[in-house]
């Protein structure tokens, strides 16, 4: 498997379905947390490459929702703490 840095650079340089899927899979397998990147790349994949994702679209959708929920949850709890 390519390193996280390599797949991240490829996905950011040329965000196509294959590169985004490789990045998100690498992040899942390596347990790398970067909510902003997951949501950003996942939304691009779902909006532009849905048909190219095949069954992987469900895994990506779940990953994006899980990361987005964590980001939103952190922001809300911070707002209530004031």
Count of structural domains, the chain: 1
Q: Assess if residue 21 is contained within a domain.
A: yes
Instruction: Please give the residue range of the domain that contains residue 35.
Output: 11-73
CA distance 38 to 45: 10
In terms of Cβ atoms closer than 10 Å to its own Cβ (0-12, 13-18, 19+), residue 76 is: exposed
Q: How sure is the predictor about 72, in pLDDT bands with cuts at 50, 70 and 90? A: low
Please give the model's pTM, rounded to 2 decimal places. Answer: 0.81
Tens digits of residue pLDDT in 9-67: 999 999 999 999 999 999 999 999 999 999 999 999 999 999 999 999 999 999 999 98
CA distance 19 to 22: 5
Q: How sure is the predictor about 80, in pLDDT bands with cuts at 50, 70 and 90? A: very low
CA distance 72 to 51: 28
Structure-token match 């340089």, residue found: 13
Q: Assess if residue 16 is contained within a domain.
A: yes
């Amino acid at each position: 498997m390519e390193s996280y840095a390599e797949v991240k650079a490829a996905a950011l340089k040329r965000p196509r379905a294959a590169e985004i899927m490789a990045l998100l899979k690498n992040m899942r397998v390596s347990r790398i947390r970067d909510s902003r990147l997951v949501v950003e790349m996942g939304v691009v994949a779902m909006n532009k490459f849905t048909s190219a994702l095949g069954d992987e679209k469900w895994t990506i959708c779940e990953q994006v929702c899980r990361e987005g929920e964590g980001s939103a949850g952190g922001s809300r709890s911070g707002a209530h703490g004031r």
